[in-house]
Amino acid sequence: MELRKIFNRISVLRQERGISRKELAEKIGVNFQTVGYLEREEYNPSLDLAFRISEYFNLPINLIFSTKPLKPLSEELLNLKKDTK
């Protein structure tokens, strides 16, 4: 089906929480190397795994994953502030 690459913010979110890949892996129930593969965007998570990550970070899927390259969160925040002023 020629899969598109999905971009994600997993490593940023994980580092914000100050946890290691191993800890995150345990929380979401996968091998720690799998977290590595996901952070390096070497392959896409399954929908179920995407939901587990979303549940762990308490953020909707669309905020963590995107079909388009993700800007740094800091920049997104800046744009939001611009819009509301």
Partner DNA sequence: GCTATTTGTTGTAAATTTACAACAGACGGT
Partner DNA sequence: ACCGTCTGTTGTAAATTTACAACAAATAGC
Binding site for DNA (CB under 7 A): 1-3, 20-23, 29-34, 36-40, 43-49
First and final C-alpha spacing in the chain: 44
Please choose which of DNA, its own copies, none residue 23 contacts, taking the beta carbon within 5 to 8 angstroms, the exact cut-off set by kind.
Answer: DNA
- Contact mark string toward its own copies, 20..49, x via CB under 8 A: ---------xx-------------xxxxxx
- Crossing angle for the helix pair 47-57 and 21-28, nearest 10 degrees? 110
- How far is 34 from 42, CA to CA, in rounded Å? 10
Among 1, 42, 74, 85, binds its own copies (CB under 8 A): 1
